[in-house]
Structure 1
Amino acid sequence: MKISIIVAVAEDNVIGAKGMLPWHLSDDLKRFKSITMGHHLLMGRSTYESIGRALPGRTSLVLSKDKNFKAEGCFTFQDFKEAVEFAKQRKEKELMIVGGGQIYRLALPIATRIYITQVFRKYEGDVTFPEIKKDEWKEVLKEPHLASDPPFEFKILEKRK
């Protein structure tokens, strides 16, 4: 099973502010939907709460330290490896890691692909994406959207072997 990260990142690696995305990019949301449709999504409790529901057409796996936490229409886990193994046992071909910051930090060492939307603007935020070591990843796709407000680009990174 392939493990992929999908993330939108502003300058200074900001990915969230007070439980929300600090920007709105409809093209990015459409891309997120098309890439993740039909897959298992692994997210932390805060990310789930910011979305507010299980996403249609996808299987949501929610990680929470609270063993009593329940998320309607989702599978809940307290252990990251257990959630990954669950997706593997269900024959998932590409597990999508969709946030937040703590979950990305757990996934980055084992991920083999990153779908990244790089937002070219600074935002105040309280959640960041971990540093990507450039020598460990190669860019296989770059699609600029510089006329957008804010300007951004879609990229796909693959882990070097």
Structure 2
Amino acid sequence: MRLALIVAAARNGVIGRNGGLAWKISDDLKWFRRQTTGKPVIMGRRTFDSIGKALPDRVNIVVSRTMAPVEGVIVERTIEDALRRGAEAASASDVDEFFIIGGAELYASTLALADRIYLTAVDADVDGDARFPPIDPKDWIRRLAGRAEKSARNEHACEFFILDRR
């Protein structure tokens, strides 16, 4: 069972600002939806709060010690319990991977465990208060999966990469 992280990060590592994304890139949201639909997603409570609801067509798991129950969401108190539940849900759904979708603390805690990273490399340096941890290129095989140009729908150009652990 593959653990995958999916993240959009600016050149300077920023992934968020004030509890949300630091940009509007429609093509990245489509990429995210295409990769995660039908697969379990694990997120921190602040990421869940920024989304505001359970993502449709996915098993939603939130890591939180204090969050009240929410319809369509499994709340786990520890990262370990969330990872176990994500793997179980992926197996039950007959899919080969499950996702960490944020935020920064969850990425930092699970990067060493990840088998794959779906990275949207945003072609900008932006201000923000959440960052993705550094990736050692020696640990990953990186392949380009697509591009999106800056447009009315995309505040910044970006490239979509899939990184598989060596």
TM-score normalised per structure 2? 0.90
**Distance in 1 between residues matched to 2:11 and 2:86, nearest whole Å:** 32
Q: Secondary structure at the match of 1:122?
A: coil
Counterpart for residue 122 of structure 2: 119
1:108 matched to which residue of 2?
111
Q: Which residue of 2 aligns with 1:34?
A: 34
> Within 2, Cα distance between the matches of 1:113 and 1:41?
14
Offset of 1:11 from its aligned partner? 2.0
Tell me what 1:59 maps to: 59
| Equivalent-residue separation in structure 2 for 1:12 and 1:140 (angstroms) | 20
Identity of aligned residues (%): 38
Number of equivalenced pairs: 159
Partner of 1:75: 74
Q: Given the superposition, is the C-alpha separation of residues 89 and 146 from structure 1 closer, same or farther in structure 2, using an over 3 Å criterion? A: closer
Runs of 5+ unmatched residues, structure 1: none
Question: Which residue number in structure 1 is paired with residue 136 of structure 2?
Answer: 133
Q: What is the identity, as a one-letter code, of the residue corresponding to 2:52?
A: G
Identify, as 1 or 2, the structure richer in strand.
Answer: 1
Partner of 2:159: 153
Q: Secondary structure at the match of 1:29?
A: helix
Contact 1:61 1:83 in 2 (8 A): yes
Q: Is the 8 A contact 1:62 1:71 kept in 2?
A: no
- Counterpart of 1:44 in structure 2 is 44
TM-score (norm 1): 0.93
Equivalent-residue separation in structure 1 for 2:18 and 2:117 (angstroms): 24
Distance in 2 (CA, whole Å) between partners of 1:64 and 1:115 is: 24
Q: Aligned-residue CA RMSD in angstroms?
A: 1.4
Q: CA deviation at 1:69?
A: 3.1
CA positional deviation for 1:147: 4.6
Give the distance between the partners of 1:63 and 1:13, measured in 2 at CA: 23
Which residue is equivalent to 1:11? 11
Residue 25 in structure 1 maps to residue 29 in structure 2 = no
- Does the Cα contact within 8 Å between 1:40 and 1:59 map onto a contact in 2? yes
User: 5+ unaligned residues in a row in structure 2: which ranges?
Assistant: none
* Secondary structure of residue in 1 paired with 2:5: strand
Task: Report the 3-state secondary structure (helix = DSSP H, G, I; strand = E; otherwise coil) of the residue aligned with 1:95.
Answer: strand
Partner Cα distance (1:145, 1:85) in 2: 35
